[in-house]
Amino acid sequence: MHVFCPSCLGELPFCFLDIILNWKDQKTLSIILAWKPMQLHSWFIDVVVSPNVEVLFHHSNMDDSTGVINCVCWKNPMVAETPLSGHPSTPSSLSVFEQLKKLQETVSQKTKLEIGDVVRVRGYIRTYRQQREIQASCFYKVDDPVCDVQISRMLELPCLYREVYDKPFKSPEEIQSGPEGQNFSIHMLYEKVQGFLLENKIQTFYQQELETVDSLVSLMGVHLPSPSCEEVKSESSSSSKRIHGVFKEAIKMLQEKGVVFQKPNSSKDLYYVTDHDKELFKVTLDVIKEDCRKPRHAEKGCHFLHVLSCVRQSYSPSLPEVVMHRVLELLESNSDVVSTMEGYFMVF
């Protein structure tokens, strides 16, 4: 079942029918069901165990091996289900007539349910005559002769229960006020800063420079005080400290990913953007070109550790491995070098 929760977590795929059948109605709105406590609108995938077609609606019982639930899908009154009759008056209308007939047959095959059919249903949960049922808006049969769809669903469900369904619900306010909210802010800022550096092709920067960018500071819901202010309140001071701390952690994440790095002979607050350091790319490419001419590297290419050692000697003695990995990946994506085997590179 695909669960849609517009007010909190978005769309979540699948849960067991026995959970649906044992849900408790909310006291305020008895027709609305909740899962800790999410309102649900769902995709279901089940096996038909009791099909029945009425004049105004399709009515079937669905089974997912944990429970059986009734499913009702009202027919569209604007669509007539009477078979096409008569003969086309002209040859030109023959193809249209045949296409309509094939379309009607296809729709009939997709919507005519038999015992054992695997179906996917779009709908929501409701209570009718003290019984839980699915009010479906549409449904169709799933072509699953080797049970790939059902096996995939069975493998996905336990992970979803551990990661999503069985965790207590927290409102956005609780998330922001707790330690998880701090980590969330750091991760969001990390992604935003990375995009900002790459999109604007920034080669070097100081942390203080990033802290003056409104689009980055606004992610934390606070703003730095204006430099023209004569008095700085304690709240503004604490906000500035929090902003500085979050930016510091975000930049630390960028360093761990190899997006930015520092040089020992430069200012301790100066950061270099890996993707835009032309000198680093040139040194790396020259090392691989020169060493691949040597007999011992001509066949397999240069090993990563060998390239890293040579680049450290000629560029920066403390260059992190993760930065070197990123440089080689970018060179390979640009077809400047090619990986001959795991950890070996040569000029393309």
- pLDDT tens digit string along 52-100? 555 556 667 777 666 778 888 776 655 545 555 555 555 666 678 788 8
Place 35 in a pLDDT band, splitting at 50, 70 and 90: very low
Q: Residue 8's pLDDT is what?
A: 36
**CA 43 – CA 5 distance, rounded (Å):** 12
Among 113-117, 208-212, 251-255, 295-299, whose mean pLDDT is lowest? 113-117
State which fold the 277-347 domain adopts. Arc Repressor Mutant, subunit A (1.10.10)
Full-model pTM: 0.48
**CA 61 – CA 144 distance, rounded (Å):** 19
Q: Does the pLDDT of residue 40 top 70, yes or no?
A: no
Task: Give the number of residues written for the chain.
Answer: 348
Using an 8 Å Cβ cutoff, are 12 and 5 in contact?
yes
Q: Residue 83's pLDDT is what?
A: 55
Of the candidates 344, 274, 288, 276, which has an alpha carbon nearest to the alpha carbon of residue 316? 274
The residue-averaged pLDDT of 144-159 equals: 79
Return the residue matching tokens 């070098």. Answer: 337
Q: Of residues 285 and 42, which shows the higher confidence score?
A: 285
3-state helix, strand, coil in the chain (%, to 5): 45, 25, 35
Of the candidates 115, 117, 110, which has an alpha carbon nearest to the alpha carbon of residue 140? 110
Using an 8 Å Cβ cutoff, are 253 and 247 in contact?
no
- 199-255 tens-digit pLDDT: 999 999 999 999 888 888 887 764 344 444 544 455 566 777 888 888 999 999 999
Q: Residue 297's pLDDT is what?
A: 82
Using an 8 Å Cβ cutoff, are 240 and 294 in contact?
no
Beta bridge partners of 47: 63, 118
Q: Are domains 174-265 and 277-347 of this chain identical in fold?
A: yes
Q: Residue 176's pLDDT is what?
A: 54
Q: Residue 196's pLDDT is what?
A: 92
The residue-averaged pLDDT of 29-41 equals: 40
Q: Does domain 2-169 have CATH number 3.40.50.2300?
A: no
User: Residue 80: phi, psi to the nearest 5?
Assistant: -85, 135
The residue-averaged pLDDT of 137-143 equals: 78
The residue-averaged pLDDT of 243-272 equals: 90
Of the candidates 72, 20, 21, 66, which has an alpha carbon nearest to the alpha carbon of residue 50? 72
**CA 274 – CA 276 distance, rounded (Å):** 6
Using an 8 Å Cβ cutoff, are 82 and 52 in contact?
no
- 156-195 tens-digit pLDDT: 777 777 777 777 766 666 555 554 556 777 888 899 999 9
CA angle 297, 302, 303 (to 5 degrees): 130
Q: For the structural domain made of 174-265, what CATH number should be given?
A: 1.10.10.980
Q: Residue 279's pLDDT is what?
A: 94
Domain spans of the chain, in order of start: 2-169, 174-265, 277-347
